[in-house]
Amino acid sequence: MQPFIGLNMSIQRPSGDDHGGALAPLCYIDAIEGAGGIPLCVPPFHDHRQIREIIPLLKGFLFIGGADYRPEHYGGHPQAAAELVHPRRDRFDVALARFILEETDLPVLGICGGCQLLTIARGGALVQDIGTEWTAPAGGLPLPHSRQDREKQGPIAEAGQMRGGRQSVKVGITAGKKPAAVWDNEREAKTDKTKEAPFFRHPVRFASRSLAARATGTPPGAVLATNSFHHQAIHPDRVGKHLIASAWSADGIIEAIEPAPGSPWAASGRFVLGVQWHPERMQDEAPHRQPFLALVKAAANNRVSAF
């Protein structure tokens, strides 16, 4: 029997006579279905006690991306309301993530904001704005991880565009105003700017023998080209209880988290993985389909949902 995989949902804010709505982007739904799971969207209902009622229906959970979670969850500084997820989603997602992580053994995959949510739910913290708060370990500028940063940097970001085929990587570039690493591909630097979103890539390296490496099929010593649509990142000093960083971009930004060695999750072999990029937007590439296949496989083998 195909396992039911839960997905949280975003909230469309009311406009005029429209009362708003709960939304789940189709790319997440398609990724779960394509991996052999049955997606089951879980709306952000008011009564969080109902979370306990719906969990027994599920065999795994996918936390999707979105806007930023409220900084008071981790002691951050105030942010503009326009940057934040809807308050109703914020309250629900944090309660849901804590329940699933602490009171069940469900396999879990978190993507972008969903990866950051796993950290927040476990008492971790975020770098609230990479462009203004992060310095690469070698002293260079951070990569243009968000679309907004790429627009600001212009030609620098263009050098980081890559689309299959011929590419080479420059790592540790610190001279002048260049970022810590870019994919070098002149042809793609001339690509129509309206097509920037699917093409921008940067390299991610993985801890050897990590869950993140296995879940993407990345061999030891190899790097994976990922997309990037985030301006926040997991703080390396506060990854969260039972969690450890297991992948990084060349500017030191954490790109994946998973159970820490010696933690109860690691001891039990529980599948808990967060990735900072958006594999659901690159489902035509095998390494980016694999995290969903790994989640569904773990869910199919998960006989008991809750403790």
For 30-63, give the secondary structure using H, E and C: HHHHHCCCEEEECCCCCCHHHHHHHHHHCCEEEE
Assigned domain for 84 exists: yes
Distances (CA, A) of 103 to 55, 120, 138, 298: 10, 16, 41, 17
DSSP character string of 133-155: H---TTS-BPP--SHHHHHHHTH
What's the whole-number mean pLDDT along residues 296-303? 90
Structure-model confidence comparison of residues 118 and 304, the more confident one:
118
If asked whether residues 63 and 45 sit together in one domain, one would say yes
283 close to 239: Cβ distance less than 8 angstroms: no
Q: Two tokens at 185?
A: 């591909």
- Do 110 and 155 lie in a common domain? no
Taking each helix axis as running N to C, give the angle between helix 286-300 and helix 26-34, from 0 to 180 degrees, rounded to the nearest 10: 70
**Would the pLDDT of 80 be above 70?**
yes
Measured CA to CA, the distance from residue 125 to residue 119 in angstroms comes to 7
**Cα distances (Å, whole numbers) of residue 234 to 123, 147, 204, 272, 274:** 11, 18, 15, 16, 10
The whole-number pLDDT of residue 148 equals 80
Asked whether residue 22 falls in the same domain as residue 106, the answer is yes
Give 15: exposed, middle or buried? Use CB within 10 Å, 0-12, 13-18, 19+.
Answer: exposed
In this predicted structure, the answer to whether residue 158 has a pLDDT above a threshold of 70 is no
Same domain, 254 and 125: yes
Q: What is the mean pLDDT of residues 181-207?
A: 56
Across the range 182-191, mean pLDDT stands at: 35
Residue at 207 is within a domain: no
Q: How many residues does the chain have?
A: 307
Q: Could you read off the pLDDT of 207-249 as tens digits, one per residue?
A: 999 999 999 999 999 999 999 999 999 999 999 999 999 999 9
Please state which of the ranges 57-71, 136-150, 161-175, 189-203 shows the lowest mean pLDDT.
161-175
Residue 242 lies in a domain: yes
Residues 110 and 248 in one domain: yes
Domain residue limits at 42: 4-130+230-300
Instruction: Report the C-alpha gap between 199 and 208 in whole angstroms.
Output: 27
Residue 126: which H helix or E strand, with range? strand 126-127
Q: What pLDDT is recorded for position 136?
A: 85
Instruction: Give 32-59 pLDDT, tens digit per residue.
Output: 999 999 999 999 999 999 999 999 999 9
* Domain assignment of residue 44, yes or no: yes
> CB-hemisphere CA count at 13 Å for 13?
7
pTM (predicted TM-score): 0.86
Q: Closest by alpha carbon to 203, among 245, 150, 162?
A: 162
Q: Which parts of the chain fold into alpha helices (H)? A: 26-34, 51-54, 87-103, 113-121, 130-133, 147-153, 155-158, 186-189, 196-199, 211-216, 264-268, 286-300
The percentage of the chain sitting over the pLDDT mark of 90, rounded to a whole number, equals 71
- If you write DSSP's letter for every residue of 61-91 in order, what string do you get? EEE---SBPPGGGTT-----GGGBPPHHHHH
Both tokens of 18, joined, read 């429209």
Q: What is the CATH number of the domain that holds 63?
A: 3.40.50.880
Q: Is the dihedral of CA 260, 225, 235, 11 positive or negative?
A: negative
CA dist 243 → 64, 107, 148, 260 (Å): 19, 14, 29, 5
Q: Are residues 46 and 149 in the same domain?
A: no
| The pLDDT value given to residue 138 | 79
Number of domain units in the chain:
2
